[in-house]
């Protein structure tokens, strides 16, 4: 969340920056709650000072022969109850202000362009040339079903927006995952990390999914307040919650997890195939860095995701998201969009974002600055490296043959026991 003092000292700047995201900052409500909090704290502190003064008076009266009970009754009056009421009011004011702050998105980076939605995102680069097939290209659904990709089986056991895989398709899915993990851990310097797939409410508040996006999550009924993770970003980033790390920054972690999303509001969109599923796998990259390094770290992290696409020889483009398409917690985001011949368009396969200290302040994730010896908020970044299912879609469609076979990209063949072509 945003720093209260920063908002207070830069109201006009904050309002203008948040307007770029389409968020109307309620200055009057913020000022009212901030003033109420300050007044309540001042009142509580004043009463505490009055109590200290009264304690000295009680001592003087006892010294003059008055009993402790009579001296306390004469001097203290209702001070204790007044202090209790003032402290309760201060806590209430603090809680109300925090609730408001939790609902305010992150301020976008000054490089984020203006725009209303994804149509206003700006292309930064493109890599590779879309394949020119001599035959009518099929989409991944038609290609995958004869090879072990079954949406009927997925629907049978779970419902729509689920898939089941068998044979070569299941192995290809695993091969893509292992290839990504090996590349990021062995070539890009990330530590492979395993995390829970269920998290508590505090973890989702820390990374910004709650309270605003509860309808997008799957909550698990029961005694404990558990949610299925929408992305490995949540558990991995929260590993540093409520702590001060003495480790040298950057800390770089990579994790493979399933992800679960309700896809609220997406009815009618991408109902065919694997593009928008309730359950999908992703290899996630997370970095914790010094504040002065976060801009460069975003370029590096995005480059690591791009490297996967390049090794698989999949044409893609990189875009910077405009304010209207930027995520709630993100300060700046690059999307990587892979070319899908079956749709004849580029589709998102990775989002790479820097959050500044926005998530760290919510989580109280800090590092000890060796120059000062003091704890400071660190900066967090994450990105898909990549979405496994969408990468599989891209491989099927870009490597398809006229007879329905799929050429296995060279980078994946060691994970497929040397298999060069997948056939029914």
pLDDT at 75 over 60: no
Q: What percent of the chain has pLDDT over 90?
A: 84
Name which of 327, 408, 404, 318 is nearest 126 in CA terms. Answer: 318
Query: What gap in Å lies between CA 281 and CA 302, rounded to an integer?
Result: 19
Cis peptide leading into residue 191 (ω within 30°) = no
Beta strands 191-192 and 251-260 are parallel
The annotation status of 284 as a binding-site residue, yes or no, is yes
Q: Which among 348, 361, 368, 376 is annotated as catalytic?
A: 348
Please determine, for residue 50, whether its predicted confidence score (pLDDT) is greater than 80. Answer: no
From the list 300, 351, 362, 397, the catalytic residue is 351
Whether the pLDDT of residue 403 is over 90: the answer is yes
Query: 222 is written with which tokens?
Result: 């029961």
pLDDT at 63 over 90: no
Give the pLDDT confidence of 109-145 residue by residue, as tens digits.
999 999 999 999 999 999 999 999 999 999 999 999 9
Q: Which of 217, 215, 216 is nearest to 199 (CA)?
A: 217
Q: Mean per-residue pLDDT for 18-37? A: 95
Question: Is the pLDDT at 270 greater than 90, yes or no?
Answer: no
The single residue of 171, 306, 390, 397 carrying the catalytic annotation is 390
Q: pLDDT at position 46, please?
A: 82
Q: How far is CA 300 from CA 70, 197, 250, 417, in A?
A: 72, 27, 12, 32
Stretch 283-289: mean pLDDT: 98
Residue 53 has pLDDT above 80, yes or no: no
Contact (CB, 8 A) for 397 and 345: no
Model-level pTM? 0.92
pLDDT at 52 over 80: no
Rounded distance, CA 254 to CA 189, Å?
Answer: 9
Per-residue confidence band for 247, with pLDDT thresholds at 50, 70 and 90: very high
Task: List pLDDT tens digits, range 138-173.
Answer: 999 999 999 999 999 999 999 999 999 999 999 999
- On whether 351 is known to bind a ligand per the annotation, the reply is yes
pLDDT at 44: 79
- pLDDT above 70 as % of the chain: 92
Q: What is the mean pLDDT of residues 280-295?
A: 98
Q: For residue 382, say whether it is annotated as part of any ligand binding site.
A: yes
- Relative to beta strand 122-127, strand 219-220 is unpaired
The mean pLDDT value for 179-195 works out to 98
pLDDT at 71: 55
Residue 72 has what pLDDT? 60
Instruction: Give catalytic status of residue 353 as yes or no.
Output: no
| Tokens (6 digits) for 159 | 């419902």
Beta bridge partner(s), residue 340? 345
**Does residue 211 register a pLDDT over 80?**
yes
Q: Is 350 annotated in some ligand binding site?
A: yes
pLDDT in tens, 364-398: 999 999 999 999 999 999 999 999 999 999 999 99
Given a cut of 80, is residue 57 above it in pLDDT? no
CA dihedral 145→147→151→152, nearest 10 degrees, is 80
243 annotated as a binding-site residue? no
Check if 261 is active-site: yes
Q: Which of 38-52, 270-284, 303-317 is predicted with the least confidence, judged by mean pLDDT?
A: 38-52
The verdict on whether residue 384 carries a ligand-binding annotation is: yes
Residue of 37, 161, 261, 362 marked catalytic = 261
Instruction: Check pLDDT > 70 for residue 207.
Output: yes
- Asked if residue 271 has pLDDT above 90, the reply is no
* C-alpha span between 369 and 54 (Å, rounded): 43
The residue among 407, 411, 394 whose CA lies nearest residue 312 is 411
Residue 233 annotated in ligand binding: yes
Determine whether 111 is an active site residue: no
Q: Is 351 a catalytic residue?
A: yes
Is 290 a residue of the active site? Answer: no
Q: Are 131 and 316 in contact (CB under 8 A)?
A: no
Contact 299, 312 (CB under 8 A): no
Q: Which residue is catalytic, options 174, 276, 317, 347?
A: 276
d(CA 226, CA 54): 49
* Beta strand 149-150 pairing with 164-165: antiparallel
DSSP 101-131: HHTSPPPPPTTSPP-SSGGG-EEEEEES---
């Amino acid at each position: 969340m945003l720093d209260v003092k920063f908002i207070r000292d830069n109201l006009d700047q904050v309002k203008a920056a948040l307007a770029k995201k389409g968020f109307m900052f309620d200055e009057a409500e913020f000022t009212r709650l901030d003033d109420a909090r300050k007044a309540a704290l001042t009142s509580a502190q004043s009463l505490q000072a009055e109590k200290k003064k009264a304690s000295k008076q009680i001592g003087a009266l006892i010294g003059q022969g008055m009993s402790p009970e009579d001296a306390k009754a004469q001097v203290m009056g209702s001070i204790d109850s007044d202090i209790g009421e003032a402290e309760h009011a201060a806590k209430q004011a603090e809680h109300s202000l925090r609730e408001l702050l939790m609902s305010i998105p992150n301020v976008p980076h000054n490089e984020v362009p203006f725009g209303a939605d994804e149509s206003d995102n700006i292309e930064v680069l493109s890599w590779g040339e879309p394949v020119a097939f001599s035959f009518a290209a099929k989409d991944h659904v038609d290609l995958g079903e004869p090879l072990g990709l079954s949406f009927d089986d997925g629907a049978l056991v779970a419902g729509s927006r689920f898939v089941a895989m068998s044979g070569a398709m299941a192995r290809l899915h695993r091969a893509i995952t292992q290839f990504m993990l090996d590349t990021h851990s062995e070539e890009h310097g990330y530590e492979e990390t395993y995390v829970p797939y269920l998290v508590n409410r505090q973890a989702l508040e820390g990374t910004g999914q709650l309270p605003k996006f509860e309808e997008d999550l799957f909550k698990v009924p029961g005694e404990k307040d558990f949610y299925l993770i929408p992305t490995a970003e949540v558990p991995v980033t929260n590993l540093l919650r409520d702590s001060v790390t003495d480790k040298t920054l950057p800390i770089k972690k990579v994790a493979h997890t399933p992800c679960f999303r309700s896809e609220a509001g997406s009815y009618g969109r991408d109902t065919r195939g694997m593009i928008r599923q309730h359950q999908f796998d992703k290899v996630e990259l997370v970095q914790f860095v010094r504040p002065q390094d976060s801009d460069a770290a975003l370029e590096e992290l995005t480059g690591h995701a791009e490297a996967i696409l390049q090794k698989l020889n999949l044409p893609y483009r990189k875009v910077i998201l405009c304010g209207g398409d930027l995520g709630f917690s993100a300060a700046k985001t690059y999307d990587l969009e892979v070319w899908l011949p079956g749709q004849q368009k580029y589709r998102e396969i990775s989002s790479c974002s820097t959050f500044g200290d926005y998530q760290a302040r919510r989580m109280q994730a800090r590092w000890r600055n060796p120059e000062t010896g003091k704890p400071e908020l660190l900066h967090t970044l994450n990105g898909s490296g990549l979405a496994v299912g969408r990468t599989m879609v891209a491989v099927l469609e870009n490597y398809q043959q006229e007879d329905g076979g799929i050429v296995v990209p060279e980078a994946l063949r060691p994970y497929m026991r040397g298999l060069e072509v997948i056939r029914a």
